[in-house]
Structure 1
Amino acid sequence: MRACVLPVATTLRTASRTVRHFAASACLPRDKNVAVVGGGAAGFYAAARLLAKTKNVNVDVFEQLPTPYGLVRFGVAPDHPEVKNCTTKFDQVSGSPRVRYFGNVQVGSQQLGLDRLCSAYDGVVLSYGASEDRRLGIPGEDGENGRVGVIPARRFVAWYNGLPEAQGLRVDLESYDKVVIVGHGNVALDCARILLTDPADLATTDITANALETLRNSKVRHVEMVGRRGPLQVAFTTKELREMTKIPDMDFICDRELVAAECSKWAEWLDASRSLKRMMDLLMKHTVGEGRRQKKSFTLSFLKSPVEVVYDQPGAEESAEAPPQRIRFEVNRLEGAVDAARAVGTGAFVDIPCGMVLRSIGYVSTPLAGAPFNKRRKIIPNIAGRVTDDSGELVSGLYAAGWVKRGPVGVIATTMQDAYRTADAVIMDISNGHIGNDSDTGRSRDAVDQMLDSSGVLETCVTNAQWKRLDAHETEAGIKTGKSREKVTDIDRMLSIIRSE
């Protein structure tokens, strides 16, 4: 609703008398406009909360890719379709007349700077996630003499899930039968599970056709997942670990003596943590100890920190079976309380040969041009979702949600609650008059559209209706091959399908 100025004087006639009201001016409440930067789970949950808790707030969602959903589309494992059910809610949000989707738009670019967004909207929510990964910082990590080096697990996941920018990744699963994964989180387990699962069991999922073919030709039969601390400090969940135990014809290997010793040492503390106790019981129940009996094996290795990736193995010229590389670890011991244990190097080293190394030690967010950024914590500085500048002062009308707000931790449900809290802060600020002044017609819906038109966004963006055209295409292509979806992995082809009549 556009703001409207009433006449200086109005007359109200009643049955008994005439009453004249005088005022310099008055404004009817206008609709408020909020921009959400990032079309992943955090962005859509923030939009959903704004819709549910208000009646006069419009939301525009901006996403740099043509497709929405972020890591729900490109990060969730293909054999976890139930996790992607949240897209049903996101579809309901984007189908609201109060919500518009602008895909293929990069905020912070020359076309659409953050300053223009902030000047046009009553509030801007930054929810663009974490698009980079933490590095090991060891020699050989970046490869040498044509070697790939250590591959980010984030990029490997993006490769098999169809993220366009990851499709050029060199994934060698045929040079040797072993892959080492550095990290003890859920993403590391996802990678291990995909590498060791029978490709036939993935054939009906939305894994990309290229990834499925690569896995069919894979010689990888052994995956070792290495962490710097012990079994009581792992970051993965029992649910994810249990899935690994269900892979047929595979040995599950870990140091039973270490697990038993740690459980005995910290028995009282462990009794208070039921979920972790169940996980330790699971390890003791399914591990077979060292030694390969089956054709496939999954090894959980503890108390090792990577120090170097070594190439050009001795004897490589004489043997075609020689591993292309090995990763050297320093053996650790733990110091301190169980819930704050530090890994301390012992000076002893061990080498693990392998055909590929993945690092899975966490994601990090990157700065957005024009927005404050904490370089040490790799997040946008904020107080309960309200963005602060370098001096700690609140930046009026600017908010953060999701991983870029709190760091890359938690599952989708965690992101939902976090996004709700940020949206509640926006609603509170509108209610208190801190943002969304009714007399500010420069932030009306018409003013927003004029800004988007003048910046060229309306010519290049992908709307929700156009994205649905690609969605239908992928679903139909999947049906033809017996899959839930066949993702298009090239942006030019995406746009061709999206803009076809």
Structure 2
Amino acid sequence: MPHVITQSCCSDGSCVYACPVNCIHPSPDEPGFATAEMLYIDPVACVDCGACVSACPVGAIAPDSKLTDKQLPFIELNAGFYPERPAGVKLPPTSKLAPVLPAPQVRRGEAELTVAVVGSGPAGMYAADELLTQKGVRVNVFDKLPTPFGLVRAGVAPDHQHTKGVTKLFDRISKQPRFTFYLNVEVGQHISHDELLKHHHAVLYTVGAPNDRRLDIGGMELPGTATATETVAWINGHPDFAGLDVDLRHERVVVVGNGNVALDVARILTANPDDLARTDISDTALAVLRGSAVREVVIAARRGPVDSAFTLPELIGLTSTAEVVLDAGDHDLVEQDLATATDTLAKAKLEILAKLPVAAELTGRPRIRLAYRLTPHRVLGTDRVSGVEFLRTGTDETVRIEAGLLLTSIGYRGAPIADLPFDEADAVVPNRDGRVIDPATGAAVTGAYVAGWIKRGPTGFIGTNKSCSMQTVSNLVDDFNAGLLADPSARPALLDNLIRSRQPEVVDARGWRAIDAAETARGEEQGRVRVKFTDVADMVAAAAAPAAPLAKRLLAGLLR
């Protein structure tokens, strides 16, 4: 009964190190790890010990006999990653045990390493975890929102609750005694980079890539245009997007771009609101979806089916939960690409696409239509979006699609950080393995480090940030051991006083747990995972509320 990794895999890599027989690949030390769509368990080598199940932070691994009907395709997907071998041979000939990478060791006598981590998303929390593997380190984590965990809270679709389960790991990290949260504190506004360096040996930025790449065509200024990322944030109740105008009174929505975020938006916009009502979707989004007139979401891509940007696991998940169709012409494109495809993953995607039904007339049930070789030309409408005009890619043929809402999903860009250099072309902070460098001299900027998307660009998945952060932390500790980082000039206690003098509404770990408890309690009243606060003032008020009696808190913990 081999175990199987399913679509909610986050590529964290913990399962790789937990496996005693090296049957999970690619491992973090292998070249394909950073770009892998997911990890795969070798069904021949698996000894059914279950160690990977306990190690997985998002509950993505299960025995093949306990998979749901929707997860059954992952049996073949996991097995297909590995080469055939003679009977009785458990491991591929080139297989070797994945090395357990040692934690960096602080070696400066009695000196205590103090690090400020800016950003509390996956990269920041993984970095904090790596730093706190030893006693001689203190970590202060800053975030401009009163709630932590970044895109896990605000960017993962609400119907992917297993993926959001990684926050349980992050919560455990935040409870370590040398960890401190400074939430609702914006670095660059409430405290500067130089001031952080006065209180820490180093500042590690894990601020992601917060900006969307914009579509540069006429009409994008019209009401009824937005980005898929903004829409997912609105769906998740992010306070910066709680007031986003998402008009679903028209029967069709067009999404430009066909990556995983585009699929997420399309799936939510066509889902049964009663199913979403059990998740942590925002009340505002749920109410709008209940009144939606949308009957079709068109996901339009510039290139052909073989170049589809979505991952195979997401496609399997989408086609198992939603009605997905193709036009007859796009079906022909799929067949043409399938006949010449050589890449294993691309071929697997095409085989699924080839089985999709041909689009008929719209019916009462909302559906998703995948469309290919459409290059956006202009947005149609006067006072508001009424449609999109495309050019058939590589030709002068125009294709018009009527729609009341246009969402773009064509990538992300990092934003400049005050007092640090910035590479405008790649939209990252220039760095060498996480050490920030001055592009003019090529020298390292003392005490400044990066991890996550602001370091490597918007690539990878939640767990990819683990190996990325490990690399940066290893270099940071090496620099500390070598005496390259200046000791803080201010006493540790002065940092808390400084921050509270400038931001009286700072939220600490206790405050976050009060917010978490309040949201969970609100959810329990409605039979939901949680009901989120979507206003910063409400979050701050919940954070300041008196703690519940100990017995009540213990009971709540047992029930979760």
TM-score range, shorter chain: 0.7 to 0.9
Residues in 2 aligned to 1:454 and 1:70: alpha-carbon distance in whole angstroms: 25
> Tell me, what secondary structure is at the counterpart of 2:166?
helix
- In the other structure, the counterpart of 1:167 is 242
2:220 corresponds in structure 1 to 141
The answer on whether the counterparts of 2:428 and 2:454 sit within 8 Å (CA) in structure 1 is yes
CA contact (8 A) 1:253 1:297 kept: no
CA distance in 1, matches of 2:324, 2:436: 49
Does 2:92 match 1:50? no
Is 1:298 matched up with 2:345?
Answer: no
Map Cα deviations across residues 220-261 of structure 1 (whole Å, 9 max, x no partner): 01010001111111111112112221235x352251110111
CA distance in 2, matches of 1:431, 1:89: 29
Instruction: Please say if residues 239 and 534 of structure 2, whose CA atoms lie closer than 8 Å, have aligned partners that are also in contact.
Output: yes
1:493 corresponds to: 538
The equivalent residue for 1:11 is none
Q: What TM-score, normalized by structure 2, do the two folds share?
A: 0.75
User: Does structure 1 residue 77 correspond to structure 2 residue 154?
Assistant: no
Distance in 1 of aligned mates of 2:120 and 2:512: 12
Query: In structure 2, what residue type is equivalent to 1:346?
Result: T
In structure 2, the CA distance between the partners of 1:219 and 1:366, relative to structure 1 (3 Å rule), is same
Which of 186, 210, 218 lines up with 1:131 in the alignment? 210
In structure 1, the residue matched to 2:298 is 224
The 3-state SS of whatever aligns with 2:226 is strand
5+ long unaligned stretches in structure 1: 1-26, 314-322, 333-344
CA distance in 2, matches of 1:292, 1:423: 55
State the match for 1:360 in structure 2: 409
Distance 1:276 1:262 in 2: 9
In the other structure, the counterpart of 1:67 is 147
Structure 1 stretch 155-164 or stretch 323-332: which is displaced more?
323-332
SS at match of 1:370: coil
Residue 308 in structure 1 maps to residue 356 in structure 2: no
Residue 156 (1) aligns with residue 231 (2)? yes
Distance of 1:428 and 1:483 partners within structure 2? 46
1:59 positional shift: 0.5
Q: CA deviation at 1:458?
A: 7.0
How many angstroms apart in 1 are the aligned matches of 2:139 and 2:483? Answer: 18
Query: Measured at CA, do residues 311 and 46 of structure 1 come closer, stay the same or move farther in structure 2, by a change above 3 Å?
Result: same
How many residues get paired? 434
* Contact 2:312–2:345 (8 Å) recurs in 1: yes
Partner of 1:275: 345
What CA distance in whole angstroms lies between the structure 2 residues aligned with 1:475 and 1:369? 36
C-alpha change, 1:350 and 1:119, in structure 2 (3 Å) is: same
The aligned counterpart of 1:196 is: 270
SS at match of 2:396: strand
Deviation by residue 1:426-464 (Cα, 9 ceiling, x = unmatched):
12222233226xxx4626xxx133144235257331100
- Counterpart of 2:62 in structure 1 is none
SS at match of 2:379: strand
Q: Write the letter of the residue equivalent to 1:327.
A: V
The equivalent residue for 2:317 is: 243
Give the direction of change, closer, same or farther, for the CA distance of 1:73–1:251 in structure 2 (3 Å limit): closer
1:453 and 2:497 correspond: yes
* Correspondence 1:427 to 2:488: no
Secondary structure of 2:164's match? helix
Which of 173, 177, 185 is the equivalent residue of 1:97?
177
Gap change, CA 1:149 and 1:209, over 3 Å in 2: closer
Q: Does 1:35 align with 2:120?
A: no
Where in structure 2 are the equivalents of 1:204-223 lying within 5 Å?
204-223=278-297
- Alignment partner of 1:467: what SS? helix
| 1:253 corresponds to | 326
Partners of 1:179 and 1:458 lie apart in 2 by: 41
RMSD: 1.8
Q: How big is the shift at 1:55?
A: 2.3
**For the Cα contact (< 8 Å) 1:34–1:58, is it kept in 2?**
yes
- Cα deviations by residue, 1:311-346 (Å, 9 ceiling, x for unpaired): 049xxxxxxxxx9511111111xxxxxxxxxxxx32
| Equivalent in the alignment of 2:10 | none
- The Cα shift of 1:500 comes to 2.0
How far, CA to CA, are the matches of 1:297 and 1:484 in structure 2? Answer: 26
Question: Retained in 2: the 8 A contact 1:78–1:207?
Answer: yes
SS in 2 for 1:246: helix
1:394 matched to which residue of 2? 444
**Contact 2:337/2:350 (<8 A) preserved:** no
Moved more, 464-473 or 116-125: 116-125
What amino acid maps onto 1:360 in structure 2?
Answer: S
CA distance in 1, matches of 2:244, 2:503: 33
Partner of 2:188: 108
Partner of 1:340: none
Aligned twin of 1:3: none
2:389 equivalent to 1:328: yes
Calculate the TM-score normalised by the size of structure 1. Answer: 0.83
- Structure 1 counterpart SS, 2:185: coil
Other structure's SS at 1:497 match: helix
Higher relative contact order (CA 8 A, sep 6+): 1
* Residues 198, 488 of structure 2: 8 Å contact kept: no
TM-fit CA distance, 1:397: 1.4
Q: 2:426 aligns with which of 377, 381, 391?
A: 377
Is the 2:141–2:181 contact (alpha carbons within 8 Å) kept by the matching residues of 1?
yes
- Give the letter aligned to residue 484 of structure 1: V
Give the match's secondary structure for 2:149.
Answer: coil
Does structure 1 residue 179 correspond to structure 2 residue 259? no
SS at match of 2:532: coil
| Conservation of the 8 A alpha-carbon contact between 2:220 and 2:379 | yes
Q: Partner residue of 1:442?
A: 489
Structure-1 separation of matches of 2:350 and 2:196? 50
Task: Work out the CA distance in 2 between the residues paired with 1:76 and 1:115.
Answer: 33
Partner of 1:22: none
Rg (Cα) greater in structure = 1
Deviating more after overlay: 417-426 vs 57-66: 417-426
Q: Distance in 1 between matches of 2:296 and 2:509?
A: 43
Deviation track 1:257-280 (CA, whole Å, cap 9, x = no partner) reads: 10111222x33xx2xx32222111
Residue identity in the other structure for 2:211: E
User: How much does 1:209 deviate?
Assistant: 1.2
CA distance in 2, matches of 1:28, 1:163: 44
1:303 and 1:331 in contact (8 A); partners too: yes
Q: Is the 8 A contact 1:182 1:360 kept in 2?
A: yes
Give 5+ residue unaligned stretches, structure 2: 1-107, 547-560
Amino acid at match of 1:308: R
Question: Matched residues in 2 for 1:448 and 1:370: separation?
Answer: 23
Q: Which has the higher strand share?
A: 1
**2:358 matched to 1:289?**
yes
- List per-residue Cα deviations over 1:186-233 (Å, max 9, x = no partner): 000000000111111111000011111110110101010001111111
- Are the counterparts in 2 of residues 452 and 458 from structure 1 also a CA contact under 8 Å? no
- Give the CA deviation at 1:28: 5.4
Structure 1 residue 304 displacement after superposition: 1.2
CA contact (8 A) 2:224 2:385 kept: no
In the alignment, the residues of structure 2 paired with residue 135 and residue 324 of structure 1 have an alpha-carbon distance, to the nearest angstrom, of 16
Q: Distance in 2 between matches of 1:458 and 1:232?
A: 51
Alpha-carbon separation, structure 2, partners of 1:190 and 1:236: 10
Residues 200 and 488, structure 2, Cα contact 8 Å, conserved in 1:
no
Q: Report percent identity of matched pairs.
A: 39
2:512 aligned with 1:467: yes
